[in-house]
Structure 1
């Protein structure tokens, strides 16, 4: 029995040595496995053969000890050594090394949770963090606002090149010094256009009108006379005749006839061979004028005969004659005319015809000029139309046209075959009369833009037509952004003024109760569009000739609208201040242009107040194209420090964008003061906290496991949270290969939390934890195990020899 047990005992020792060699071999094999924890074999004695349990001491004997023979060894435990491995720096930012207790949590093939110390991670095709053997690393994800969602474990992702973020501006920090001792703004800049004309009103057409210079009718003809009895008183008589047309216009008078002396009791005078109008003439009657040199020098109307009548009998006594002959006439020269319409009730006058003439008149014997086929008004005077005609003539030695005469509505109605007029008024008479208004009727707020006309010399041009109008104004010699207005047949002058007010960023008083009173904005003055800027030289308006570009709705390229705006008093505006431009960002990261302008508004013995106005060409209000996005007052004290800001918020509407609207942010004036150097205002933007859209370009992982992404716009966001687990008994974990552990029945439940909390170790990014295998120690253990194995083999050999001897005795 003893030799037989010795064989089995030796065999257990050899089996134990084999196990030890296996464990040591595994340790050596995994000496370069990241995160590997070496194992140690612990042995225990196996069964014992008890030959005696011994005896207790008695009075006669001192007692004996048990006699037991061991029957071999067994492997009591193969325990892993979870001591810290060496940390080695790597070039992969996803490599993570654990310093301290704990395991990374990964997802198994069946969705179960597994654990590893190997932090050699990479990303897969779905940008998920995975182990080198393909298990997904678990942790907390983030929501759309990059807030960590610590509710459920999920695979961690790092979407390089795909994730995009933008940061909406919340604050704009301004710096600079404003001149508290500068000029207080009291005078606004006023700019105005040239005269604009209401082109909707009727315009007289003179294309059929003619001018004819009239001289003495048949001046070579001598009027014969003979004395017969009658009522003519004694005296010396002479005659002159004129031609009269159907409209009552009278020609120049003929030459004076030979004198005829009437003596005695008186009588009558017969005239023969009276001169006649030329064939086809408009003249229908002949006036006969008489003069008695014994009474006066004037010629008075003696009678009228129809055209074609060559005789006339004059029997009228002096004192019973008609009107005195108007023998005035024009001087020698070339004459031109304008004709206008007028409203006999309101007095409103149309713009004139094209220039009629010139025609040359010979000043000998007082010539006259006949105007034929004058245009007649056709609109209703009760609804703003015209019913009369006015005639203006150019002075001989001037380019000015002065009022000559009016043709009344009644005279127009009585005209039988077109309106005509004979002009015999000398320059000396009309020189004091009003000059013709070449512009015509004034524009009004309700006038459609397509009816607005301008004049350049004698050329009248409709400035607008239906289409898209692009307008680019300016402030303080800085161009503003282009804004667009769609012009239709119903778009009015008021619409244009409101559009330009908004585009120019003019603050109206109604925006803030404390805004200084003033007629800021646009109006109509003397048929000109006029704009009054807000106070301050930085708010002075400017509009150049290329400011308006109109693209017709009918097609074609954009062309300039020639409206010139000029300052009414150049350099008149005052008010110290400065401007600062800044780019801010909406929720989509789109850049928004904002300009902040200041002006010294008020000053007292203890403080100064500066008005700030913010404008943005990218503002998209619900109505109109307004660019004003904020205004307020900055108050500084006697030391130049800011003591109060009445409002510091700016709101930019983004109604035509899917971005959050409005974009609201604060202007921080805390670093602005009232201490301008050398009296020069300065306002600057030091920074703003918004970012444009950017893509994820890099990342880092902190000691606490937070994954921080860095974007191309310079911003950073949390992309996820690495989670770790620790166990009460790490040796109770079950190794399942691939550097993985599973929870065992004796490991305890996992305690999951972020690194560096609840006894969990910290993480070092860009490093790995090396295997903690001790090669030297393992080699020693290998030698010991080998020796143990050889020793067991020797025991078996010795037993074999003894058995052989025993068998030999039996033989």
Structure 2
């Protein structure tokens, strides 16, 4: 048995040496494997053959030791060494090195959790972090708001170029200087449009004509006879032509004087009485007579046209009214015709200008107007029932004054036909008469815009059409954003005024006592003009350029409206109120950029400070109703040292009701860096704001605690995930399953999870890897020792073989 046991004992030594060589070879082979942990082999004695258990000491003997013969060696343990490997810098931001205890948690086949120290990670086609052998790395993910969700482990993804994020503005930080020693606002800017008129009222049609009337020739034959009632004296005559409407033309020249001799009364015979030419409308002839050259020609009689002779027997006391004196001056005359309402006094805009007609005070001292249309007296168009006639003066061709007025009774007397009128009024008689209003009836708030008329010289046009009006106002010398206004058949002047004042950001009221209440800010109608009063301050002064109105009508045609506004501030009271302004961009919840402008004006000075009002406007405001661009206002108060002591309302609210963004966008204006010292300047600017436009994920960083933070193209950062790690009570009890992976073993204990750096876990270094902890020199020594062990065992077998050979040789 001795030789046989020697063979088996030597064989166990060979087997143990082989195991040691295998482990050492594996250590050396994985010396460049990231995160690899080398192993060592521990041996133990195998069975023993006990020849004697020995004896205890007695009084006679000292005792003996046990006699045991070993029967070989066995591998007691192959144990990995979890000592820290060297950390080496890497260029891959996903390479991670653990410094300290712990393992990364990954997902193995079938969803089983595995553990590794190899931090050579990358992303797959789904942007998930995976190991070099394809296992998904586990940790906590994030929700749609990039909030860490610690509800369970799941694969972590880094969606470079895919994820987008925006950050709404919460704070805007302003800096600059507001001079409390400037001029307090007391004169607001006021602008007004050209005169507009109401196009719904009746307009006289353009059918009037005018012609000069020449004097009839005087009667060429006058004789006197006895037998009448005319007293003795010297007499002269004049005749006039009268039309069917009773209009009387110019009087003829004076006839020669006829004398009735003393001694008795008589009659005067007229012959060769002049007649109207052709088919004239003059149907009657009036005869006038004076006495003894007193030039008071008084009515004698009326005869029908065509009568060429007449015998005058009328005594002087029975004569009628005197012949109307006067006549036109020498000059050229033009006319306008209007209608008026005798009750309300409302007057239409005039007909087209007609004429000119030349008048000669000697031969043609009167002008006849024909074809003057009658008013319809329609209650829907003004109930006009009278007619007014306007004429220029010979020495003032563009100044038209009223020369005649036909009352409703006179108009009714003309019937349904056209009206005629003979003008014989000299210029001196109308010098102080009412001047014509070429613009016509005034507009009102309720007037439809499509009925608003504007005048350019003698041309009248409807200013607005149905369509979309693009309006660009100006405030403080800077053009505002263009706003759209839809015009329909029912859109009124009041609607336009409200739209304009809201789009230009006119603050009409405020809650603070310091807001001047004696001024009606905003739009109104004044003398048939649109008028807008701006808020106090040079920075709030309103203006509208010639190109401020662009109309796209229903046919798609685009045109600029001739709608001009001018300032009416007198030179003696210019716009005042010093202040500064700042323009900046903020972002809503979707990252949409919104423009904001803040203007300030010095409102009040006190004995221990000053007060400035700020007004914030935004063209991107989308209120529930209307088009208001006002998004905030408040009073900035400074103390005697120029420090900002309070702002009555520093929150700005921009409604986003027509956008899918969260509404309203609320942010605060921080005036803490604004000084109220008297620097002689009024400057305001936004130094920064904390919102961001939408941006895509462009890069990321991983902190030592395993938090993955994404950096977006807009400069903002968000959490993308949280790496989790695990540690075990006995790392040596883990089961190696290949691919640098371990699984929990029966003697490893349960995994204790946590964030890197917590719960006894090591920290993470990004952009680095933990190298293998294989000690090449030590392993080569181990290899030499194992080889020596193997050779020694082989010598034992050889020796035993030789002894057996000798034993077998005894038979020879």
- Asked if TM exceeds 0.5, the reply is yes
SS in 1 for 2:687: strand
1:152 is aligned to: 152
For the Cα contact (< 8 Å) 2:202–2:381, is it kept in 1?
Answer: no
Alignment of 1:259 with 2:261, yes or no, is no
| Structure 1 stretch displaced more, 257-266 or 405-414 | 257-266
1:577 is aligned to: 579
Q: Deviations over 1:473-513 (max 9, x none)?
A: 11121111111111111111111111110111100115666
For the Cα contact (< 8 Å) 1:577–1:599, is it kept in 2?
Answer: yes
Cα distance, 1:633–1:510 mapped onto 2, change above 3 Å: closer
CA drift at 1:24: 0.4
For the Cα contact (< 8 Å) 1:448–1:492, is it kept in 2?
Answer: yes
Cα distance, 1:385–1:91 mapped onto 2, change above 3 Å: same
2:436 is aligned to: 436
2:493 is aligned to: 493
1:12 is aligned to: 12
Query: Counterparts of 1:271 and 1:382 in 2: how far apart (Å)?
Result: 55
1:422 is aligned to: 422
| Structure 1 stretch displaced more, 590-599 or 54-63 | 54-63
Alignment of 1:659 with 2:661, yes or no, is yes
Q: Deviations over 1:230-254 (max 9, x none)?
A: 3222222222111111221101112
2:707 is aligned to: 706
SS in 1 for 2:317: coil
1:3 is aligned to: 3
Alignment of 1:472 with 2:479, yes or no, is no
2:368 is aligned to: 370
CA drift at 1:365: 5.3
For the Cα contact (< 8 Å) 1:549–1:561, is it kept in 2?
Answer: no
Query: Counterparts of 2:400 and 2:307 in 1: how far apart (Å)?
Result: 40
Alignment size in residue pairs: 807
CA drift at 1:455: 1.7
1:249 is aligned to: 247
For the Cα contact (< 8 Å) 2:166–2:591, is it kept in 1?
Answer: yes
For the Cα contact (< 8 Å) 1:380–1:387, is it kept in 2?
Answer: no
Query: Counterparts of 1:355 and 1:173 in 2: how far apart (Å)?
Result: 63
Cα distance, 1:561–1:261 mapped onto 2, change above 3 Å: closer
For the Cα contact (< 8 Å) 1:215–1:366, is it kept in 2?
Answer: yes
1:281 is aligned to: 280
CA drift at 1:381: 5.2
2:237 is aligned to: 239
Match for residue 589 of structure 2 among 562, 587, 590: 587
SS in 2 for 1:496: helix
Query: Counterparts of 2:346 and 2:169 in 1: how far apart (Å)?
Result: 57
For the Cα contact (< 8 Å) 1:594–1:617, is it kept in 2?
Answer: yes
For the Cα contact (< 8 Å) 1:182–1:576, is it kept in 2?
Answer: yes
Cα distance, 1:603–1:367 mapped onto 2, change above 3 Å: same
1:639 is aligned to: 641
| Structure 1 stretch displaced more, 608-617 or 442-451 | 442-451
Question: After superposition, where does 1:541-690 map in structure 2 within 5 Å?
Answer: 541-569=542-570, 572-677=574-679, 679-690=680-691
Query: Counterparts of 2:511 and 2:584 in 1: how far apart (Å)?
Result: 23
CA drift at 1:380: 2.1
Question: After superposition, where does 1:390-429 map in structure 2 within 5 Å?
Answer: 390-399=388-397, 400-415=399-414, 417-429=417-429
Q: Where does the alignment leave 5 or more consecutive residues of structure 1 unmatched?
A: none
Query: Counterparts of 2:379 and 2:246 in 1: how far apart (Å)?
Result: 25
For the Cα contact (< 8 Å) 1:676–1:682, is it kept in 2?
Answer: no
Q: Deviations over 1:445-479 (max 9, x none)?
A: 11111122222222222211111111111112111
Question: After superposition, where does 1:180-199 map in structure 2 within 5 Å?
Answer: 180-199=180-199
Q: Where does the alignment leave 5 or more consecutive residues of structure 2 unmatched?
A: none
CA drift at 1:514: 5.2
Question: After superposition, where does 1:448-527 map in structure 2 within 5 Å?
Answer: 448-509=448-509, 515-517=515-517, 518-527=519-528
2:750 is aligned to: 749
Query: Counterparts of 1:161 and 1:450 in 2: how far apart (Å)?
Result: 53
Query: Counterparts of 2:425 and 2:263 in 1: how far apart (Å)?
Result: 41
| Structure 1 stretch displaced more, 682-691 or 282-291 | 282-291
Query: Counterparts of 2:377 and 2:727 in 1: how far apart (Å)?
Result: 99
Q: Deviations over 1:339-365 (max 9, x none)?
A: 111111111111112221111112215
Alignment of 1:217 with 2:219, yes or no, is no
| Structure 1 stretch displaced more, 268-277 or 412-421 | 268-277
Q: Deviations over 1:12-45 (max 9, x none)?
A: 1111111111100100110000000000000111
SS in 1 for 2:316: coil
Question: After superposition, where does 1:142-181 map in structure 2 within 5 Å?
Answer: 142-181=142-181
SS in 2 for 1:104: strand
SS in 2 for 1:558: strand
Q: TM-score, normalised by structure 1?
A: 0.97
SS in 2 for 1:118: coil
CA drift at 1:676: 4.0
For the Cα contact (< 8 Å) 2:213–2:364, is it kept in 1?
Answer: no
SS in 1 for 2:182: coil
| Structure 1 stretch displaced more, 444-453 or 710-719 | 444-453
SS in 2 for 1:651: strand
Query: Counterparts of 1:315 and 1:562 in 2: how far apart (Å)?
Result: 70
For the Cα contact (< 8 Å) 1:55–1:63, is it kept in 2?
Answer: yes
Runs of 4+ with >6 A deviation? none
Query: Counterparts of 1:421 and 1:557 in 2: how far apart (Å)?
Result: 45
| Structure 1 stretch displaced more, 7-16 or 57-66 | 57-66
| Structure 1 stretch displaced more, 103-112 or 310-319 | 310-319
Query: Counterparts of 1:218 and 1:466 in 2: how far apart (Å)?
Result: 61
Query: Counterparts of 2:569 and 2:545 in 1: how far apart (Å)?
Result: 14
CA drift at 1:383: 6.1
1:35 is aligned to: 35
| Structure 1 stretch displaced more, 613-622 or 100-109 | 613-622
Query: Counterparts of 2:581 and 2:401 in 1: how far apart (Å)?
Result: 52
Query: Counterparts of 1:270 and 1:499 in 2: how far apart (Å)?
Result: 80
Match for residue 303 of structure 1 among 301, 304, 327: 301
CA drift at 1:407: 1.4
Query: Counterparts of 1:415 and 1:403 in 2: how far apart (Å)?
Result: 20
For the Cα contact (< 8 Å) 2:608–2:640, is it kept in 1?
Answer: yes
Query: Counterparts of 2:373 and 2:495 in 1: how far apart (Å)?
Result: 35
2:24 is aligned to: 24
SS in 2 for 1:391: strand
For the Cα contact (< 8 Å) 2:235–2:292, is it kept in 1?
Answer: yes
SS in 1 for 2:396: coil
Match for residue 350 of structure 2 among 349, 352, 357: 352
For the Cα contact (< 8 Å) 1:551–1:559, is it kept in 2?
Answer: no
2:734 is aligned to: 733
Q: Deviations over 1:68-93 (max 9, x none)?
A: 11111111100110000000001100
Query: Counterparts of 2:510 and 2:523 in 1: how far apart (Å)?
Result: 15
Alignment of 1:132 with 2:132, yes or no, is yes
1:291 is aligned to: 290
1:695 is aligned to: 696
For the Cα contact (< 8 Å) 1:327–1:366, is it kept in 2?
Answer: no
Query: Counterparts of 2:234 and 2:108 in 1: how far apart (Å)?
Result: 145
Q: Deviations over 1:302-325 (max 9, x none)?
A: 111222233334332222221101
Q: Deviations over 1:514-571 (max 9, x none)?
A: 5321200011111111110100111111111111111111222333434233343367
| Structure 1 stretch displaced more, 764-773 or 251-260 | 251-260
Q: RMSD across aligned C-alpha pairs, in angstroms?
A: 1.6
Q: TM-score, normalised by structure 2?
A: 0.97
For the Cα contact (< 8 Å) 1:190–1:569, is it kept in 2?
Answer: no
